[in-house]
Chains A and B, each alone.
Chain A
Amino acid sequence: MVAGALAAWFVVTLLSQHPRRKTERLRDLLPGGLIPDWRFFAPEPVQHDLVLVHRTVAANGEQTPWRVTTPVSDRSLLHLVWFPQRRMEKALHEIAGELLGQAATGTRPWTSHHTFVLCRDHVIRAARREPAGHHSIVIGVQFGLLRRPGEEILLVSPFIPCTKGAAR
Chain B
Amino acid sequence: MFRSPDTPLEPELDRHAALSMAERLCAVHGLMSSLEYLARRQDREFGGLNNWQVMRRAHRDSPLLVRRALDGIADQRVTATIHTARAACAVVLLLPVSGNRVRLGANLALASTTMLLRTRHRYGGDGADQVAVVVQTATALGRTGGPRTVDACLWFIALQSVLSYVASGCAKLANPAWRDGTALTRIMATRLYGHPAVWRILRDHPKVARALSAGILAFECGFPLVFLARGRLAPLFVSSAIAFHLVNGGAMGLGRFGWAFIAMHPAVLYVTRGPRDDRSDLLPRLALAGTAGAIAAAAIVRARGDDRAE
Contacts and interface: CB of A to CB of B under 8 A. Distances in A.
B279 interface: no
B12 to A, nearest CB: 22
A15 interface: yes
Nearest to A94: B123
Interface stretch (B97-105, B131-139, B226-234, B268-276): B131-139
Interface in B49-89: 49-51, 54-55, 57-58
B243 interface: no
23 contacts: A6-B152, A6-B153, A10-B163, A11-B291, A14-B163, A15-B294, A19-B174, A32-B133, A33-B118, A39-B168, A41-B187, A42-B171, A43-B171, A45-B187, A83-B256, A85-B40, A86-B256, A87-B121, A88-B48, A89-B192, A91-B49, A93-B192, A148-B190
Contacts, number: 229
Interface residues on B, range: 35 or more
A39 B115 contact: no
A133 to B, nearest CB: 20
A37 B138 CA distance: 17
Kindly list the 6 A-B residue pairs having the minimum CB-CB distance in the complex, ordered from nearest: A125-B47, A32-B115, A87-B124, A42-B171, A91-B123, A91-B124
A118 B192 contact: no
A43 B192 contact: no
Given A43-B178, A71-B191, A89-B192, 19 more contacts: A6-B156, A11-B290, A17-B167, A32-B133, A33-B129, A36-B131, A39-B167, A43-B175, A73-B253, A83-B36, A84-B37, A87-B36, A87-B43, A87-B126, A92-B49, A93-B192, A117-B54, A118-B54, A121-B51
Nearest to B56: A114
Interface of A: 2-4, 6-11, 13-15, 17, 19-20, 31-34, 36-49, 51, 71-73, 75, 77, 79-95, 114, 117-118, 121-122, 124-126, 148-149, 168
A90 B126 contact: yes
A126 B47 contact: yes
Nearest to A20: B174
Contacts of B123: 87, 90-91, 94-95, 118
B212 interface: no
B189 interface: yes
A38 B221 CA distance: 13
B246 interface: yes
A77 B246 CA distance: 10
Interface string B23-61: 000000000100111011001001111110011011000
A121 B49 CA distance: 9
Contacts of A34: 115, 133-134, 137
